[in-house]
Amino acid sequence: MVLPSAILLPLYLYPSVTTDPWKPLYDSLTAHPNTQFDIVINPDSGPLLVGPSDSALSDYVVAVSKLRTYPNVNIFGYVHTGWGAASLQPALLSNISRYATWNTYTPANISLDGIFIDEAPNAYDPTIYTNLQTATNLARSSELPKIILNPGTVADAEYFALADYIIMFEGAYANFNASEMAALSQAVRANSSVILYDSTLAEADQNTLVNQLVDLGLGSLDVTTTNTYDTWSALWTAFTQQVSSAVGVT
């Protein structure tokens, strides 16, 4: 069964408890309880080098525990690989293990659902594949079972054995070619994601694009007017409504 497209949100905005900058997300989760949201958190280009009991993570504890009250959320911890650089493998494994400690934190429920691996390779290389396999195996054995790989471009099919989703395009809307996604098999599209930033589309045109992407059967998507992941799209509320309508849950 092909699942409806989810909203994929790289959320690199610091969750200050005094200003509550994640409120637009909480509002959308409430407004669209039957839409799946896959949220990527990124405390410090990965986890901070402290445990969740450290005061440096106190704002994240509050914000993530609030996210955990919504049943339509998957939460992913951000890590990066330097495009598969062997020198970063020890840090990659350490960061995954550090995120795993969030799942055993007892004062609050800040458990994560999986790992978002940024700067993933797109071309198959047996050594890099083995390194990524070691990393994804560690995540799954650490109760972080869901994996997103982000090469940001169309990836070789071998990597789908390691991931639930692969981001097959991340870039400016002006550079996006939907025909590249349409050329993928339906089975591949169901496990593929796109992130389009710097969108200049009006709300109605964004709606047309969202319907096109959902009709392609993509696993998840993000369309934003910004060129950074630490601020909200001017059309965020419209986007969440458009995806919910396109997948037929509102």
Q: What is the CATH number of the domain that holds 58?
A: 3.20.20.80
pLDDT value at residue 97: 98
Give 219's contacts (C-beta < 8 A, 6+ positions apart). Answer: 3, 5, 6, 164, 165, 189, 190, 191, 192, 193
Q: How many CB atoms lie within 10 A of CB 195?
A: 21
User: Mean pLDDT throughout 22-38?
Assistant: 98
Looking from the CA of 141 toward its CB, the CA atoms found within 13 Å total 8
Average pLDDT in the chain = 97
pLDDT of residue 1: 42
Q: pLDDT at position 67, please? A: 98
User: How many structural domains is the chain composed of?
Assistant: 1
Return the bridge partners of 39, or none: 9, 75
* Residue 194 placed within a domain: yes
What is the model's pTM?
0.97
| pLDDT computed for residue 249 by the predictor | 86
What percent of the chain has a predicted confidence (pLDDT) above 90? 97
Q: Is 80 within the bounds of a domain?
A: yes
| pLDDT for res 2 | 56
pLDDT tens-place string over residues 174-205? 999 999 999 999 999 999 999 999 999 999 99
| Residue 240: inside a domain | yes
In single-letter form, the type of residue at position 7 comes to I
Residue 92 within a domain? yes
Residue 1 lies in a domain: no
Q: Which domain holds residue 30?
A: 6-246
Q: How large is the average pLDDT for residues 84-113?
A: 97
pLDDT of residue 3: 73
Torsion of CA 44, 75, 224, 4, to 10 degrees: 160
Segment 127-150 shows an average pLDDT of 98
Q: What is the pLDDT of residues 208-239, one digit of tens each?
A: 999 999 999 999 999 999 999 999 999 999 99
